[in-house]
Amino acid sequence: MRYAVLLAGLLAGAPVALFAQSNTDQPPGIVPASITLSALLKSHAAAVGKLKPGTAKTRTESWTYKEGELTGTRTSIASGEDYRDDVTVGPFHSAEGQVRGQEWAQNANGLTHLLSGVHQRDENNRRALSHALQKDSGVQLLGMVSTPTPAYVVKVSPPDGRTEYVFYDKSTFLITRVERAVEQVREVLTYDDFRATDGLTEAWHIHTSDGRPGARSSTT
């Protein structure tokens, strides 16, 4: 997935109850780490890998999707910065995408809107992480945690971006968890079942929750 590829690309067990803390508070249990941010990101890039030369730039992904009690499918097509995501869950179908920089979204009633700046904060975070070693990038290595699994924690909080915490597995250096502030909630994304395809290692199972009953989705 686009987010999983860049950051790289969710398993979580039960919903995460995080409303007792601010949605921007750093995760508990962080202790100093001996690794540097530069070394961590280098190891992460090596773990993710690169697409093999000659691999088509257009990618199609088909996922099994679950939202609450409903199940369905999610299909993603991406070519450069352009993409289209279609979600069919139960009797409902929705879609969103981007063409030549213009974002759009279609709801379950078939109503299509042209969007502007909706995902700009997410884009600012992606840009910050891709230039993490530059001065004032808003990216810093906080340390490491032992739970829910041993991982290095990087805070990403650029100007005009979101506050999010990215967990890099201590053994594999792959991103296995992201906690981020979205509106008034703390969204938790977890990643597992990593597989290599055409030289690129990505998560094949993604789970997301913000702690509210029913506000969960899973993509496999």
Q: Is the confidence at residue 1, as pLDDT, over 70?
A: no
Segment (H or E) for 71:
strand 70-79
Using the predicted structure, report yes or no on whether residue 9 has a pLDDT greater than 70. no
pLDDT computed for residue 7 by the predictor: 38
Q: What percent of the chain has pLDDT over 70?
A: 86
**Per-residue pLDDT at 86 exceeds 70:** yes
Q: Residue 85 pLDDT > 60, yes or no?
A: yes
Sign of the torsion formed by the C-alpha atoms of 16, 175, 185 and 67: negative
- Report residue 15's pLDDT band, with 50, 70 and 90 as the boundaries: very low
134 forms beta bridges with none
Highest mean pLDDT, choosing among 52-61, 76-85, 88-97, 147-156: 147-156
- Report the C-alpha gap between 133 and 141 in whole angstroms: 11
Summarised one tens digit per residue, pLDDT across range 114-162 is 987 657 888 899 999 999 999 999 999 999 999 999 999 999 999 989 9
The per-residue pLDDT for 35 is: 97
- Report, as an integer, the average pLDDT of 195-204: 92
pLDDT-based confidence at 209, cuts 50/70/90? confident
Residue 18 has pLDDT above 60, yes or no: no
What is the model's pLDDT at position 213? 59
- Distances from the Cα of 9 to the Cα of 22, 30, 31, angstroms: 25, 23, 25
Amino acid at residue number 168? Y
Query: What is the average pLDDT across 15-22?
Result: 46
Going from N- to C-terminal start, the domains of the chain cover 2-55+119-219
| Average pLDDT score over residue span 84-105 | 92
Element (H, E) at 129: helix 120-130
The pLDDT-based confidence of 214 (bands split at 50, 70, 90) is low
Tell me, what's the pLDDT at 26? 95
Residue 17 is classified by DSSP as: -
